[in-house]
Structure 1
Amino acid sequence: MKTKLANIGTAMSLALACFASVQAYAGELMDRVTSGKSIRIGYANEPPFAFPDANNKPVGYVNAYVLGLLKEMGYENVETVVTDWGGLIPALQSDRLDLVTGGLYILHSRCENVAFSEPMAKVSDAFIVLPGNPKGIKTYKDLTRTGETMVTGIGYSLIENAKKDGVPESQIMEVPGPSEMLAAVVSGRAAAAAHNYLTLKDMAEKAGGKVEVTDPNALPDWTKNWVSVGFRKGDEDFVKKFNAAQIKYLGTPPMMEAVKPYSYDKNMLPGKETAEWICANR
C-alpha cells in the first residue's frame, strides 16, 4: 500500500510540474483571452494614430488596424482605455493594459521594456511653425544653429532625434501632447513643434491657418520611424500569433479601407524591415 501511495504521489508531482511548465510558458495575455477575459487596449489622444471620437469610441488608423486584426483572429472582447502618452508604457508594465495602440515607434530604448509586434506603418518627422516659417526651422540642425526652442510631447522619440542632431536639452520644451504643442508655437514660446508628419498635418488643418507644416523630406533618413503595437514583456506567445495574423491582413483591401479615413495609404506600408532589426538600429 505504501508503494502504491508513493507512486500516486510521484504521478501527481509530475502532473503538477507539467502544469506549472505550461503555465510558465503561457503569457498573461494568452491566459486572459483563453479564460474569456477582455483584451485591454490603451491609447492616448494622438490623431491620426489613435484617439477617442465624440462618443469616446476608439478611432485613428492604429486603432482601426488593431481592432480589425484582432477580429480576424477571433478576438472581439476588448475594452479601451484613454490615458496620457507618458502613462502608456508604465500602464503596460504594471499589467493595467495588455497592449498599446497609441502609435508607438519601435526604438532601441523602448525595446528593453516593450515586446513590439512587427511594424504596421512607416512615418516621417516634421515641424509645425508659424506661417511663412519666420525662424527658418526645417531640420533639427536649424534649431541648433539658431538657438530656438523646440516643443514636443513628454516621452516622444523626437526628443532623442533632436539631441542626436545636436539640439541641447535647454532648447527642448516637453508638454503633455499635441494641443499644448500647438499652443506653444502660436504663443511664440517655441519656434517649432516636432512630431510625425501626419499628426502635424492634421493639427495644422484644424488650426485655421495659424501654423504650417514643414517638408518632412528636409530631414535625414534616420529620422524615419516604424509604428508598431506594444505588448508586455512575457506576452511573446501572443505577439507571435498576432504577427502571423498580420502577415495575412496587412495591406489587404479591408485593412486599407479601414485606415483610409486617417490618411494612411500604401506609401505608409512598413516595408521589409523587422521589429528585431529596428530595435537594433533605432
Structure 2
Amino acid sequence: RIQSEGVVRVGFANENPYAFAQPDGTLSGEAVEVARAVFEQMGIDEMEGVLTEFGSLIPGLQAGRFDVITAGMYVNPGRCEQVFFADPEYKIGEALVVAAGNPLDLHSYEDIAANPDVTIGTGAGYLENDMLLTSGVTEDQIVTFPDDPSGMAGLQAGQIDAWTGTRPTLIKLLQVTDDPGFELADPFDQPVVDGKEALNFGAAAFRLDDVEFRNAFNDGLQQLKDDGSLVEIISQFEGFDAGADPGDVSVTDICPDAYTDLMGVSTEDEAMAEATSEPTEESMEEATAEPTEEAMAEDSGEMAEIEPVPGGA
C-alpha cells in the first residue's frame, strides 16, 4: 500500500531536533530527514505526520495510526520486544539544564541521588526515567511532564530543580527559551548502566509484522551510511555532528535476544553450519558403508541414461 500510494504516515512527538512540525506545517528534524532520504530511495515521496505524545508512540504504531515512528526513539531491549527497530541512525548522550551558575552543583544523576531534596524533571515515557532510577534517584524526586517545553516551563516556575534529556534536545530548548537564567550543567558525567557509559542509539521503529518494509528501509539506511550522506543529514541539526555517527552498531548489538525469528538465517549461513557441523553416527555409517550389488547396478544403469547438458549448468 505504502509504495503503491507513495505516501507513508509517520508518528512523531514534536521534539526538536528529532522530529517537529515547522510553522508552515511541514515536518523536519534529524529522524524525519533521515527517513525522508530513505523513503525517496524506496519511491515514497510524501510523508504524512501524525503528532503523538512520546509515551503513546509505540501503542499508536501497534494500533495502526501510522506506519513508522520517526522520533529519534532510543533502542533498548524493552522496546525491542514491542517494535522492530531499524539499525541506529545516531548515537547521543544525556545532558542537564540547571539554573545559571549551577548553584546545586549538579554534574551527574548520582549528584541528584545524593541530595534527596533535589527534584529532576523529564518527559513521560522518556528513557531518562529508567536511567535516573538506575542511578539511585528516587521516584519521589522525579517529576514527569508531557514534553520538553512544558518541562522547561516547570523549571522556570520553580517546580523542579533541573531538567534532563538528550544533549541535542536541551541545546535547542535553551536556544528557543532564550532565558539567561538557565544553562547546561558543564561538565556532565554520563550515566552508567550495567557497567557501561549509557550512550544512546536512536532508530526508526516499525511494527513487528512489517518485516519486509523494515528491511527495505534498513537497506536504504545502510546506503546513506556507506556514501556518507547520513552524517551530512544529521549534521544539519543542533547537537549532531560526525561524533553522532553510530558507526557499524546494529540493532542486534543492542538487543541481542530480539528479532531472531524475524531476521532469519541466510542460505550461506545454513550451508556453513551444515559444513562445520559434527557428523552423526548415522551419517558416518552411511559414508563408510559398502555399496550393495543392487545399488551398484542401479547407479550404472541410471548413469548410462543421462544425456549431457549442452553449455554447462
Q: Tell me the CA shift for residue 42 of structure 1.
A: 0.9
| Residue in structure 1 matched with residue 189 of structure 2 by the alignment | 218
Between stretches 80-89 and 228-237, larger displacement belongs to 80-89
Q: Does 1:144 align with 2:119?
A: no
Q: Tell me the CA shift for residue 120 of structure 1.
A: 0.3
Contact 1:68–1:255, Cα closer than 8 Å, also in 2: no
| Residue in structure 2 matched with residue 239 of structure 1 by the alignment | 214
Q: Tell me the CA shift for residue 250 of structure 1.
A: 2.3
Contact 1:126–1:194, Cα closer than 8 Å, also in 2: yes
Residue-by-residue CA offset, 1:82-103 (whole Å, 9 max, x unaligned): 1211221111010111101111
Q: Which runs of 5+ in 1 are unaligned?
A: 1-31
Q: Tell me the CA shift for residue 251 of structure 1.
A: 6.3
Contact 2:89–2:230, Cα closer than 8 Å, also in 1: no
Which one has more relative contact order, counting CA pairs under 8 Å at least 6 apart? Answer: 1
**Equivalent residues in 2 for 1:238-277 (5 A)?**
238-250=213-225, 252=227, 254-263=229-238, 264-277=240-253
Q: Hey, what's the Cα distance between the residues in 2 that align with 1:192 and 1:261?
A: 28
Q: Tell me the CA shift for residue 227 of structure 1.
A: 0.6
AA at the equivalent of 1:226: F
Q: Tell me the CA shift for residue 192 of structure 1.
A: 1.0
**Equivalent residues in 2 for 1:126-205 (5 A)?**
126-147=95-116, 148-205=118-175
Contact 2:3–2:42, Cα closer than 8 Å, also in 1: no
Superposition CA RMSD, Å:
1.8
Q: Which runs of 5+ in 2 are unaligned?
A: 258-313
Does the C-alpha gap of structure 1 residues 56 and 216 become closer, same or farther in structure 2, counting only changes over 3 Å?
farther
Q: Tell me the CA shift for residue 254 of structure 1.
A: 4.4
Q: Tell me the CA shift for residue 173 of structure 1.
A: 0.5
Contact 2:107–2:188, Cα closer than 8 Å, also in 1: no
Contact 1:117–1:229, Cα closer than 8 Å, also in 2: yes
Residue-by-residue CA offset, 1:36-55 (whole Å, 9 max, x unaligned): 36311110110011100011
Q: Hey, what's the Cα distance between the residues in 1 that align with 2:145 and 2:187?
A: 22
Contact 1:204–1:210, Cα closer than 8 Å, also in 2: no
Q: Tell me the CA shift for residue 171 of structure 1.
A: 0.7
Q: Hey, what's the Cα distance between the residues in 2 that align with 1:215 and 1:239?
A: 39
Q: Hey, what's the Cα distance between the residues in 1 that align with 2:158 and 2:72?
A: 28
Q: Hey, what's the Cα distance between the residues in 1 that align with 2:41 and 2:3?
A: 16
Does the C-alpha gap of structure 1 residues 205 and 77 become closer, same or farther in structure 2, counting only changes over 3 Å?
closer
Q: Tell me the CA shift for residue 257 of structure 1.
A: 3.8
| Residue in structure 2 matched with residue 27 of structure 1 by the alignment | none
Q: Does 1:229 align with 2:214?
A: no
Residue-by-residue CA offset, 1:251-276 (whole Å, 9 max, x unaligned): 64544443333132211011222101
Length, aligned pairs only: 250
AA at the equivalent of 1:269: D
Runs of 4+ in 1 over 6 A off after TM superposition: none
Q: Tell me the CA shift for residue 136 of structure 1.
A: 1.3
Q: Does 1:108 align with 2:108?
A: no
**Equivalent residues in 2 for 1:1-20 (5 A)?**
none
TM-score in terms of structure 1 length? 0.83
Contact 1:251–1:266, Cα closer than 8 Å, also in 2: no
Q: Tell me the CA shift for residue 177 of structure 1.
A: 0.3
AA at the equivalent of 2:88: P
